[in-house]
Amino acid sequence: MSKMTPKEMAAKIGSGLLSFPVTPFKADHSFDEATYRANMDWLCGYDVAGLFAAGGTGEFFSLTAAEVPEVVRIAVEETKGRVPVLAGTGYGTAIAREIAVGAEKAGADGLLLLPPYLMHAEQEGLAAHVEAICNAVKIGVIVYNRDNAILQPDTLARLCERCPNLVGYKDGIGDIELMTRVYTRMGDRLTYIGGLPTAETFALPYLDMGVTTYSSAVFNFVPEFATNFYAAVRKRDHAAIHAGLKDFILPLIAIRNRKKGYAVSIIKAGMKVIGRDSGPVRPPLTDLTDAEMAELTALVKALPAAAVSQAAE
């Protein structure tokens, strides 16, 4: 069980950069525990405010309901309290509750509630879904506003009144007007997380709206670049930000946008580039082609040495 209160967890993750470690798989697509342990230990050596086990980049959608708590348990064991570990949960309400309870028992410090499976629902139904998860656990819950789970400010306000452990709001749609209305309504009642892919492109304007942190997928394979970029955002160093976007983030996005699902696939490819091969993605996702791997390798090698110097250690 977590030793952090929901408010403590929210304050911690709001203080720095966040990331979603990949879930390594072997060639037969079974979970690769040894590689996962090594990756988690390595990432904890960098300045990160929280790690999300079995999140979107961690292929939550391809894991079974039994695998998620196991992945979380290993993450908690390997991080040894150095950083908060939050777990993904989702699908239908009953399955999401089951995963949430399992993740809490595994030691997760919080939950990221991903959109429910497939169906679009009215605000009343979405609220009932969120409340059911919050009521099932004592740890803090973050709602992920995207796709078919877009909570309006009034709905979010009512949930915050009824659910003390609802402590975070992650935006994944990029609707600046909605984000402004949510922040104006809720203020510091919630911790706000930038969750657009790729979050670095939106980091500076979102900071001005009160979103102090974001989830960096590239932290998985270029953690020094990611932490330096985050520091530049917090300092509002426009020159450093634009250089990072031009030299790395935007070219990476150009590769990512070629095929559906590459937002996850390209991060696993990056792990292979730096010598931390975490295996293939599980179907229905597909891996990068050899030509795209070569492009990504060249992109990483073109970064300043300090940005990747420890990556292959």
* Cβ atoms within 10 Å, residue 126: 23
To the query of whether residue 170 is one of the catalytic residues in this protein, the response is: yes
Angstrom distance (rounded) from CA 75 to CA 168: 21
Sheet strand arrangement including 191-194: 18-19, 50-53, 85-89, 110-113, 140-145, 166-171, 191-194, 213-214
**∠ CA 194-198-204, rounded to 5°:** 55
Alpha-carbon Rg of the chain, whole angstroms?
18
Active site residue: 36, 91, 169, 170, which one? 170
> How would DSSP label each residue in 238-277?
HHHHHHHIIIIIHHHHHHHTTSTTHHHHHHHHHHHHTT--
CA nearest neighbour of 127 among 95, 178, 93, 99: 93
Active site residue: 12, 36, 91, 144, which one? 144
**Hey, which residues does 171 pair with through a beta bridge?**
145, 194
To the query of whether residue 12 is one of the catalytic residues in this protein, the response is: no
CA nearest neighbour of 222 among 307, 121, 141: 307
The secondary element (H helix, E strand) that includes residue 167 is strand 166-171
**57 annotated to a ligand binding site:** yes
Q: State both tokens at 221.
A: 């394979």
Active-site amino acid positions: 144, 170
- Residue ranges of the annotated binding site for pyruvate are 57
